[in-house]
């Protein structure tokens, strides 16, 4: 990945628990002034409803505020701009990312906009970060992750840190989201740095 921070990012939500990670990442990317293109699977939308009480899948519904920097795309719309390699985007993050999406991406499937966008990211040699949020892992999961890593993707498990003695769930969430921002070379002030 280049050292310049990305300006345009595809942020996808797939069907794994952990909607709080995706919502927090969206919030911080938007506050950082990035242009964000959101893609969510049908199951992800249900999880956002169940875990975050999101009934309105718009920028207003996800962030609690309107934003011209956030565009929501239909996961079934294969004519949406993120499906094309000619769409100028700097990076893609799937957060949270299910084992199902990892398997589809590792197999090179492109049957939905999320899958196609990830496929395009790999073939265009653009950063692709998958924040996997399931456990335990089978040998199939590990092989799929190895395949994605070999193709240039980054597997970033949602593994919160405890060395800063977090006091709330939000503190734990920030240790994961902060690492994703680091991988994107986006400056932040989240208290995630380890100090001896």
Within a domain: 196: no
Q: Which domain holds residue 77?
A: 8-183
Instruction: Tell whether 78 is covered by a domain.
Output: yes
Domain assignment present for 191 = no
Total Cβ atoms within 10 A of residue 96 = 26
HEC readout, the chain: CCCCCCCEEEEEECCCCCHHHHHHHHHHHHHCCCEEEEEECHHHHHHHHHHHCCCCCCHHHHHCCCCCCEEEEECCCCCCHHHCCCCCCCEEEEEEECHHHHHHHHCCCCCCHHHHHHHHHHHCCCCEEEEECCCCCCHHHHHHHHHHHHCCCEECCCCCCCCCCCCCHHHHHHHHHHHHHHHCCCCCCCCCCCCC
pTM here?
Answer: 0.96
- The tens digit of pLDDT for each residue in 98-131 reads 999 999 999 999 999 999 999 999 999 999 999 9
Residue 1 lies in a domain: no
- The arithmetic mean of pLDDT across residues 61-72, rounded, is 97
Number of separate domains in the chain:
1
57 near 72, Cβ under 8 Å? yes
- In the sheet that holds 70-74, the strands lie side by side as 70-74, 35-40, 8-13, 91-97, 128-132, 154-155
Residues 6+ apart with CB under 8 A from 53: none
How high is the pLDDT of residue 196?
82
pLDDT, position 3: 63
pLDDT at 6: 72
Question: How many residues does the structure list for the chain?
Answer: 196
Give residue 195's pLDDT band: very low, low, confident or very high (50, 70, 90): confident
- Is residue 81 assigned to a domain? yes
pLDDT tens per residue across span 131-174: 999 999 999 999 999 999 999 999 999 999 999 999 999 999 99
Q: How many CB atoms lie within 10 A of CB 79?
A: 8
Predicted pLDDT at 11: 98
Q: How many CB atoms lie within 10 A of CB 133?
A: 22
Give the model confidence (pLDDT) of 74-92 as tens digits: 999 999 999 999 999 999 9
Q: Is residue 192 a part of any domain in this protein?
A: no
Residue 193 belongs to a domain: no
195, part of any domain: no
Note the pLDDT tens digit of each residue in 21-51.
999 999 999 999 999 999 999 999 999 999 9
Task: Output the pLDDT for position 109.
Answer: 97
> What CATH number is associated with residue 174?
3.40.50.1950
């Amino acid at each position: 990945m280049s050292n310049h921070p990305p300006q345009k990012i595809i942020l996808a939500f797939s069907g794994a628990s952990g909607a709080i990670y995706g919502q927090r990442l969206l919030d911080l990317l938007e506050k950082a002034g990035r242009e964000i293109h959101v893609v969510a699977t049908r199951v992800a939308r249900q999880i956002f409803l169940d875990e975050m009480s999101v009934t309105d899948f718009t920028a207003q519904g996800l962030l609690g505020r309107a934003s011209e920097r956030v565009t929501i795309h239909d996961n079934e719309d294969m004519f949406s701009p993120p499906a094309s390699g000619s769409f100028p985007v700097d990076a893609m993050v799937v957060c949270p990312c299910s084992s199902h999406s990892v398997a589809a991406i590792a197999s090179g499937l492109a049957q939905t906009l999320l899958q196609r966008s990830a496929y395009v990211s790999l073939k265009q040699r653009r950063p692709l970060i998958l924040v996997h949020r399931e456990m335990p892992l089978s040998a199939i999961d590990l092989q799929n992750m190895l395949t994605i890593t070999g193709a240039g993707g980054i597997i970033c498990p949602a593994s919160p840190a405890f060395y800063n003695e977090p006091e709330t769930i939000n503190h734990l969430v920030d240790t994961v989201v902060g690492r994703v921002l680091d991988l994107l070379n986006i400056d932040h002030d989240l208290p995630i740095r380890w100090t001896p």
